[in-house]
Structure 1
Amino acid sequence: MKKVVLLVALASVVWSCSKTEDVVEIVPDPPKELALDNTIAIKWAEATLYHIKHQPNNSPTYLSRALGYVGLTMYESIAPGSIEYKSIATELNGLGALPMPADAKKIDWETSLNAGQAYIIKKMWFNSHSIYNTRIDSLETAIEKERLLAVKDSSIITNSKKYGISIAEKIYQWSVNDGGHQGNLNVQDMNYMYPQGLGFWSPPFGGQAALPYPMHPKWGQNRTFIKASSEIPVPEALKYSTDKSSAYYKEFKEVYDITLGLTQEQKEIALWWGDDPAVSAAPPGHSYNLGKLLIAQQKVNLFKAAETFAKVGMSVADAFICCFKVKYTYHSERPTGYIRRNINGSFNQFWPEPPFPAFTSGHSTQAAANATVLISVFGNEVTFEDNTHVGRPKDEFRNVEFKKRTFTKIWDTALECGISRLYGGIHTSQDNTLGLEMGKTIGESINKLSWKVK
């Protein structure tokens, strides 16, 4: 009996030794993105647009450049705090690596963004009236106080502020050598020698600008944010002709016919996208505001909001460099002169002419670049309202009120912005079509940057 028990016991020991026990592996939770809302980004976008609108010597060229640096600074000042996004600085045209925090966990990213925005905006408009700089300072102080109450550690706030400024400082230093530094102090060039003769543009009297001198004729030589933007070939323009069967003549005849039969809605579209720098934030500001509206509506987090503003800012900046390169390559005339010489001597365009050549359209180029980058963030199928000019007084001379416009696709903003210049009588279809194509290419290059961690 004892022998049997012993054998059973030995079998039990062997079984227990050979059994493969289940191993419980404790897997840590995957890291999560910081839950930062977009409030601070929207506040700074609104402050930027207000600041832009009230600066002297506004031009779409300089404003686009400034928004490029402001948007990029917003993004880079918080990118190291994200597990999804990363710095794109080394992929830009000569910027190089930016400072990294010694310990990202000891940075309050809202404070970093706040300090960086205040610094770069004041640097972009260093000669701004003290009233407007005071508004920037007040916003920065108010947000800093809010963050101190939330963080409850003054050393973190101090370190975060220093970090945001270090990013803005490096980006500003890079900006100084781009060819457009302080371009708002010398918008029109009275010494520029532009070609004379049929088919060539000359500065208009009684146009948008008070003085009949060309705006930023050398802007196309500026450094682009994305190297690929500078490598886009100059598109071929139609050759001048007065032959009624020629493509050139038909382009201008189309503008003439459209102007004669403008509907009320077409007039509203022409004014909505007019974005006169004297009374608005110009076309680049309109694009920046579209980004802000979508950010608010879609309730994206702070990192995606900053990505949006960086993409929008750089896209409109490169768009104006590229299209001004084309403008001052061809010095193409605008419709009014040609139409008066060859179709109807008493023709008047609906919208006043800006002080730079026609081909290609700046509106179309920047609108397409902007729509392309916005689609990369939000998708194309988005219904939203553009309220950029709501609240402006009625244009009594043209009998047009500024009513919000509704879109169901982001790309439709580019199409409408482009066609608005034909309705205004200041661009032909080739100006618009090739501008849209160039803008789309610019936006696609910006989208290809390594925005996210793989």
Structure 2
Amino acid sequence: MKSKIYFLGLITLLFISCKKEAPIKVTTDDFCAAVDTVTGIMVHDIFSPPVASRIYLYPNVAAYEIMAQNSTKYNSLQGQLKGLDSIPKLDSKSGVNKNLAALIAHIEVSKQLIFSEESLEKYRDSLYEKWGSENQKEFDVSKEYALKVVDRIKMWMGKDNYKQTRTASKFSVYANQPGRWQPTPPSYMDGVEPHWGEIRTLVMDSASQFKPKAPHPFSIDKNSAFYKEAKETYDTGNLISKKLIEVEKTKSKLIPEESAIATFWDCNPYATVTQGHMMFAKKKNTPDAHWINITKIALKKSKSDFETTVFAYTKTSIGIFESFISCWDEKYKTNVIRPETYINQYIDENWRPQLQTPPFPEYTSGHSVVSSCSAIILTGIFGDNFSYVDDSEIPFGLPKRSFNSFKQAAAEASISRLYGGIHYRAAIENGVEQGNNIGNYISNKLKMLKK
């Protein structure tokens, strides 16, 4: 009897030892959660919109390059993005789990680009422990390959001129030159990222390839185009203020639509609150974060698979990155005065915009450029009449908004800058055209999908 029990036990042990561990499952939800984690850290760390675009870009490209290895549907971006080549090749017999390696690469590259590394390490380590317990061998070989790709991406991103711009000169303000940008209340910050136009482009020939139409010449003549546009911003702000006062008087819960639109698309990480002698920053999304979240919403609604998820995030982040380079190049070449400064000096010294004016020159509107470009790219991926509910601002106390298409959302984001009192119409309309041109160019030039 004992020998029989011993024999059965031996058979059981042999069965267990020979049983293969199941592959580690990495899903769309897992990748979206990693992107959301990075977004949360960026909001906490308060990165400028241009720098945020860089933080989204490189981790997504790293993940995409792994996903595209031996893919029947997607082409590598090697040779398509400036300076990107020689990504380590993946042996199909290596046992690497591509989805797992892509997510590991995303997390590890992200860690190189943020300030609060401990927060991301805590998130990463919990995943590593989970994956190791599920299938240690597969996790180890996938991580090993991912880190090789990470090293290559780090070399690539280290040559984009970002480090050089960290030590470049600050933006010079010339108070005696009318029409030039000046720091604005309440924090009167220096101009943010004045050298961002010097960052290496990826797809565009140069930062000025899609240079917009010139802004209206500065003038205080009441018959000039510049004055009339400033007056339009002023009048629009006053009209919205009257509506808000009426809401307060009647104790109505219906916020004026223009005010709701302006607030929803504010996306100013530099907004501050003053209490007595104390000033502290509000925590807000950047325009990049808002459109990256819209990408997630579209992915979830369309029930996209893992490969489509990485593809959509990557292409959208490329468009956002290029948009900020193009827009910032124009901002610091034209140095157009903000409406708040102009109106206070030449129309009404007591006027204040609904939104706090961001700390950089006016022309063109960054949200208009980025939103229009993102809408073009997302429309190309998900279709022209893709309706969705945008919950991007719920963490910041704002309600959802519904849209019938990405282009409708981009149009609303653009006009929000007039409603908020932080841009003139020319910066908005010409910014939309600028963004459309960038989006169409990227969509046509990048060959990410195999025929």
Does the pair score TM above 0.5?
Answer: yes
Moved more, 300-309 or 98-107: 98-107
- Specify the alignment match of 2:42 in structure 1: 52
- Specify the alignment match of 1:319 in structure 2: 323
Q: Is the 8 A contact 2:189 2:359 kept in 1?
A: yes
1:135 to 106, 123, 128: 123
Q: Is the 8 A contact 2:368 2:428 kept in 1?
A: yes
Does 1:412 pair with 2:389? Answer: no
* Letter aligned with residue 224 of structure 1: T
- Specify the alignment match of 1:224 in structure 2: 201
- Specify the alignment match of 1:110 in structure 2: 99
1:330 to 328, 334, 345: 334
Q: Is the 8 A contact 1:62 1:180 kept in 2?
A: no
Which has more radius of gyration?
A: 1
Q: Is the 8 A contact 2:210 2:434 kept in 1?
A: no
The DSSP-based 3-state class of the residue aligned with 1:77 is: helix
Distance (Å, rounded) in 1 between the aligned partners of 2:373 and 2:127: 30
- Specify the alignment match of 1:192 in structure 2: 171
Distance (Å, rounded) in 2 between the aligned partners of 1:228 and 1:295: 30
Aligned residues: 398
- Specify the alignment match of 2:14 in structure 1: none
Structure 1 segments, 4+ long, off by >6 Å, are none
The DSSP-based 3-state class of the residue aligned with 2:205 is: helix
- Specify the alignment match of 2:362 in structure 1: 358
* Pairing 1:347-426 to 2, within 5 Å after superposition: 347-393=351-397, 402-426=398-422
1:67 to 39, 42, 56: 56
Q: What RMSD in Å do the two structures reach over aligned CA positions?
A: 2.2
The Cα shift of 1:199 comes to 0.8
Q: Is the 8 A contact 1:194 1:331 kept in 2?
A: no
Does 1:308 pair with 2:312? Answer: yes
Q: Which runs of 5+ in 2 are unaligned?
A: 1-24, 244-255, 270-281
Does 1:79 pair with 2:45? Answer: no
Identity %: 27
Q: Is the 8 A contact 1:69 1:314 kept in 2?
A: no
Does 1:94 pair with 2:83? Answer: yes
Residues 54/345 of structure 1: CA separation in 2 closer, same or farther (3 Å cut) = closer
The Cα shift of 1:131 comes to 3.4
Residues 102/442 of structure 1: CA separation in 2 closer, same or farther (3 Å cut) = same
- Specify the alignment match of 1:165 in structure 2: 147
Q: Residues 273-306 of structure 1, C-alpha deviation per residue, up to 9 Å, x if partnerless?
A: 1112241231111111110111011111111111
Residues 36/161 of structure 1: CA separation in 2 closer, same or farther (3 Å cut) = closer
Q: Is the 8 A contact 2:184 2:340 kept in 1?
A: no
Residues 180/53 of structure 1: CA separation in 2 closer, same or farther (3 Å cut) = same
- Specify the alignment match of 2:184 in structure 1: 204
- Specify the alignment match of 1:396 in structure 2: none
Residues 190/173 of structure 1: CA separation in 2 closer, same or farther (3 Å cut) = closer
The DSSP-based 3-state class of the residue aligned with 1:385 is: strand
Distance (Å, rounded) in 2 between the aligned partners of 1:421 and 1:366: 13
The Cα shift of 1:135 comes to 2.3
Distance (Å, rounded) in 2 between the aligned partners of 1:329 and 1:321: 12
Moved more, 220-229 or 285-294: 220-229
Q: Which runs of 5+ in 1 are unaligned?
A: 1-34, 394-401
Does 1:273 pair with 2:254? Answer: no
Normalization by structure 1: what TM-score?
0.82
Residues 100/231 of structure 1: CA separation in 2 closer, same or farther (3 Å cut) = farther
Residues 44/298 of structure 1: CA separation in 2 closer, same or farther (3 Å cut) = same
Does 1:453 pair with 2:437? Answer: no
The DSSP-based 3-state class of the residue aligned with 2:42 is: helix
- Specify the alignment match of 1:440 in structure 2: 436
Q: Is the 8 A contact 1:194 1:202 kept in 2?
A: yes
Normalization by structure 2: what TM-score?
0.83
Residues 250/319 of structure 1: CA separation in 2 closer, same or farther (3 Å cut) = same
Q: Is the 8 A contact 1:383 1:407 kept in 2?
A: yes
Q: Is the 8 A contact 1:81 1:109 kept in 2?
A: no
The DSSP-based 3-state class of the residue aligned with 2:57 is: helix
- Specify the alignment match of 1:43 in structure 2: 33
